[in-house]
Amino acid sequence: MTRRAWTIAALAALLTAVVLWWTADLHGFFDSKVYSGAVRYWFRDDGMVYDWLQPGTPYGFTYPPFAGLVMVPMAFLPFWLVLVLACAATVASTALVTWWLAGPMIRRSRWTPRLAGAVAVALALCFEPVRETFGFGQVNTLLLALVAGDVLFGVARGRKWAGIGIGLATAIKLTPGVFILYLLVTGRWRAAGTSITAATVATLVAAGLYPDESREFWTAALWDTNRVGNLEYLSNQSLRGMLARLPLDTVESKVWLVCVLATLAFWVWRVRAAARLADHLGALALTGLLGCLISPVTWVHHCVWLLPAIVRCVDAGLSADRDRRPLWLGGAAYVLVTSRLTWAWELGPRPPLAIIGSNLYVWCSLALLIWTPLGAPTGRPRIRAVTPEAPHEQPIGKAGTSDVSRVAT
């Protein structure tokens, strides 16, 4: 790279480091403390993992027992090393997902791929849900990488192992199970069976090794909403959180059910359209948005699943033969989410804009679910096929040839 490129990359790295340091100082790796303390209590003190609470708080371990097995090393490593590994894993998984999602756009950039990639990763790390994942010491970007890799390289290419990543992610944290629904709705029966089998086997292994913990989770801890916090807290940016912040106490659950069913119906229509176009990135984006919207609890750091939709919108908007509206949508969603503007309503309503301001993530998620473009952006260089019978170049995507969106994904 040129000196100018190195300067830009260095400034991006410095800004990102400052932002991540500030976020880590703000949240103090709270969730990593919970994970580490809970598995230490389980594996070193022979306690019931779901009885342990972070000192001075009502918060404890909320994941299935299989997640605890995955986190076993935390019980024996010094906490500083746990933090180093957690930070490195978040940065590495974010960089990997960024390349998977934005790789074609990076390669089309006028900048060198290294510089464009560095700036893209910096932007992804500064995205509030990602930096919150870093600051809390959460696992969200790891799960995003596990599911995205499965969808983009397993399901998209018809691999025999397709679905394993989705199944394991579901066994670790239940919310990625929405991607099993995606496989079922789009008729990918083999991948769906694989994911269900992987999730079931992982869960049964944990149950066989630790039956008491498994019984406690599935019969009690899973249903105890007090373990995860108040539904109306501002950080809960799901449809349920939005409704909990409205004066709908007597009918809230019924309204929520209607909203969930309507959202599901619209998602089914759009994700099937993505499947017909062989647009696996689009399906990944739509399903991630669905999970954020219909989950009863979607904390801000859970919203890393908005990244695929934002990248698709920006990519489509920058393509030469499409209008710029997707670019404005993706750019606006990124700026609004990253700005922390919604936290201006943390201490209470500020009418008349509270319904908008305190639910910015929800509105962004709904807008992206409705308007994220499907089909691979066509502004990228066309791939052309040459046959002996037709020596002239012919664009792929015509009758009898492969669909360009399938090639692109």
For the chain, the domains span 230-375
Q: What pLDDT score does 401 carry?
A: 33
Identify which of 340, 281, 294 has the alpha carbon closest to the alpha carbon of residue 151: 281
What does each C-alpha distance from 220 to 41, 60, 125, 179 come to in angstroms? 19, 13, 36, 25
Q: What pLDDT score does 230 carry?
A: 84
DSSP helix, strand, coil percent of the chain (3-state; round to 5): 70, 0, 30
User: Cα–Cα distance between 205 and 28 in angstroms, integer?
Assistant: 33
Contacts of 322 (CB under 8 A, 6+ apart): 316, 373, 377, 378, 379
Q: Is the full-model pTM beyond 0.85?
A: yes
Contacts of 296 (CB under 8 A, 6+ apart): 225, 231, 238, 240
What are the tens digits of pLDDT across the range 101-123?
Answer: 999 898 888 888 889 999 999 99
Q: Annotate 82-135 with three-state secondary structure.
A: HHHHHHHHHHHHHHHHHHHHHHHHHHHCCCCHHHHHHHHHHHHHHCHHHHHHHH
Q: What pLDDT score does 319 carry?
A: 82
Q: What pLDDT score does 2 carry?
A: 78
Token pair of 117 as six digits: 């990639």
Angle, alpha carbons 42-45-51 (nearest 5°): 50
Task: Tokens 């709270």: give the residue.
Answer: 30
Identify which of 36, 86, 88, 93 has the alpha carbon closest to the alpha carbon of residue 61: 36
What does each C-alpha distance from 223 to 216, 217, 218, 300, 350 come to in angstroms? 10, 8, 8, 21, 32
Q: What would you report as the CA-atom Rg of the chain, rounded to the nearest whole angstrom?
A: 22
What does each C-alpha distance from 33 to 4, 20, 41, 365 come to in angstroms? 41, 18, 12, 30
Give φ, ψ of 385 to 5 degrees: -115, 145
Residue ranges for the chain with pLDDT beneath 50: 380-409
User: Cα–Cα distance between 130 and 132 in angstroms, integer?
Assistant: 5
- Answer positive or negative: Cα dihedral of 30, 174, 244, 128: positive
Q: What pLDDT score does 385 carry?
A: 32
